[in-house]
Amino acid sequence: MSVKCFKCNEALILEAGKDANRYENCTKCNASIRCCMMCQFYDTSSYNECREPTADRITDKEKANFCDFFKVSGGGNSYTDHKTEALSAADALFKK
């Protein structure tokens, strides 16, 4: 299975057929692998940002959690850091 880190887009090596455990992190940026951002049910347009209606509410989507419904997203998520995007756009406005 090809999985990429939600934060740095680094290719992650996971054992076939196994989900990430709560303590696994990206080797490049140290981001948690077992977090909402890496789950196939993560959806910003859904209630609680999760397509699984009976899942408990998780406030910090980037931290490891104990969600029973967690399934690693096959292709990773297209995570965008809005703060970084905004700062880059502001920098572009003022550079010549």
30-64 pLDDT, tens digit each: 999 999 999 999 998 999 999 999 999 999 999 99
Tell me what the mean pLDDT of segment 19-30 comes to.
89
Position with higher pLDDT, 30 vs 94: 30
Half-sphere CA count of 20, side-chain side, radius 13 A: 30
The reported pTM is 0.71
In the chain, which residue ranges form alpha helices assigned H by DSSP? 82-94
pLDDT number for residue 74: 62
* Domain locations in the chain as residue ranges: 1-96
73-88 pLDDT, tens digit each: 865 545 555 556 677 7
Backbone dihedral angles phi then psi of residue 32, each to the nearest 5 degrees: -65, 140
